[in-house]
């Protein structure tokens, strides 16, 4: 398993931290993709199945295969009540273990930043999708500050804690378009997807972001209880709390879609 894939080992922790935001952005992405119902899909980098469940609910697929290198994420995905029609495999986006033209559509949700060769991953999606089929991806705009968990990165940075943010550059809209072009996809379009992020109060934010999952989680895992206390205080100071204690801000992702040439 690659270093990036090792950042995601616990499906329940991922759910707590990112699940609901993943679902909201996934819904808009699927509407934009405009793929008809009843298709056979592959969900690449499916993780704990947060997006797979949205895909099943929104697109009524005939069949869905999810693939991800993390056993911990895949076993959570298999347990999801809303994803029972899906099959989940362990594997790498850059070497999909499926024959050419085996699916009608491929989606990669919030995963392209963690793949070391994004063009190879996009070319693999093109290979396994039939001519005329759909291939799309979206990723939080990391350099633009679009992550729902951006406040925790800001707080860590202000405390001088270095956090590696893999695949930051690839999440730029122009770079995503270039990857799709280089992978040989056609009729390429891009867009920004904005979502409202809202928490009932600081405790909910802290419970969500102090879980040791993802790139900031890797830094948090190494912190002493004292350092964690400092981080919590800094996060509280920096978050945009409303008079009633609620916390609300915006997250945004870049998306790209294309078609496999006929
Ligand atoms: C942020 S999670 C996204 C999970 C899910 N698709 C969602 O929308 O919530 C990123 C996922 O990419 C996976 N990943 C990392 N490297 C990968 C690779 N080379 N091929 C496929 N998936 C990979 C990780 O294991 C992780 O589950």
Ligand 1 centre distance from Cα of residue 185 (Å): 22
Ramachandran assignment for 6, one of left (phi > 0), alpha (psi -120 to 50 degrees), beta (any other): alpha
Q: Kindly report the CATH number assigned to the domain that includes residue 147.
A: 3.40.50.150
* Ligand 1 mutation pick, 1, 3, 4, 5, max ligand atoms within 8 A of CB: 5
**pLDDT at res. 211:** 80
Domain with 147, as residue range(s), is 5-259
Residue of the nearest CA to atom 23 in ligand 1? 45
Higher pLDDT, 12 or 260: 260
**pLDDT at res. 245:** 92
**pLDDT at res. 60:** 98
Half-sphere exposure of 194 (CA within 13 A, CB side): 4
Contact (CB, 8 A) for 16 and 207: yes
Q: For the chain, how long is the longest CA-to-CA vector?
A: 59
pLDDT at 1 over 60: no
Hey, which residues does 196 pair with through a beta bridge?
Answer: 250
**pLDDT at res. 163:** 86
Model confidence pLDDT, tens digit, residues 94-152 = 999 999 999 999 999 999 999 999 999 999 999 999 999 999 999 999 999 999 999 99
Q: What is the DSSP letter of 36?
A: P
Model confidence pLDDT, tens digit, residues 24-60 = 999 999 999 999 999 999 999 999 999 999 999 999 9
Sequence-separated (6 or more) residues with CB below 8 Å from residue 160:
none
Contact (CB, 8 A) for 213 and 22: no
Ranges of H-type helices in 137-241 = 150-158, 173-182, 202-209, 214-221, 225-238
**78-82, 162-166, 253-257: which has the minimum mean pLDDT?**
162-166
Ligand 1 centre distance from Cα of residue 246 (Å): 30
Ligand 1 centre distance from Cα of residue 68 (Å): 6
Number of structural domains (the chain) is: 1
Q: Determine the Cα angle at 254 with ends 236 and 45, to 5°.
A: 90
| Cα(256)–Cα(176) distance, integer angstroms | 6
pLDDT at 213 over 90: no
């Amino acid at each position: 398993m690659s270093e990036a894939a090792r950042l995601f080992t616990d499906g329940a922790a991922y759910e707590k931290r990112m699940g609901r935001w993943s679902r909201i952005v996934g819904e808009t992405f699927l509407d934009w993709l405009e793929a008809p119902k009843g298709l056979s899909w592959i969900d690449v980098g499916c993780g704990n199945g947060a997006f797979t469940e949205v895909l099943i609910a929104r697109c009524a697929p005939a069949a869905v295969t999810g693939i991800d290198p993390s056993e911990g994420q895949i076993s959570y995905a298999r347990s999801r009540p809303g994803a029972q029609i899906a099959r989940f495999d362990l594997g790498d986006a850059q070497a999909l273990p499926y024959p050419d033209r085996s699916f009608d559509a491929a989606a990669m949700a919030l995963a392209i930043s963690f793949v070391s060769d994004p063009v190879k991953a996009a070319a693999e999606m093109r290979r396994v999708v039939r001519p005329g089929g759909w291939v799309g991806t979206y990723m939080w705009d990391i350099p633009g500050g679009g992550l729902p968990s951006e406040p925790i990165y800001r707080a860590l940075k202000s405390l001088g804690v270095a956090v590696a943010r893999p695949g930051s550059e690839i999440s730029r809209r122009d770079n995503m378009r270039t990857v799709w072009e280089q992978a040989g996809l056609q009729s390429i379009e891009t867009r920004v997807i904005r979502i409202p992020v809202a928490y009932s109060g600081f405790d909910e934010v802290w419970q969500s972001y102090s879980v040791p999952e993802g790139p900031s989680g890797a830094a948090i895992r190494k912190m002493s209880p004292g350092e964690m206390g400092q981080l919590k205080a800094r996060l509280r100071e920096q978050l945009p709390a409303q008079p009633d204690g609620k916390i609300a801000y915006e997250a945004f992702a870049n998306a790209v879609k294309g078609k496999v040439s006929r």
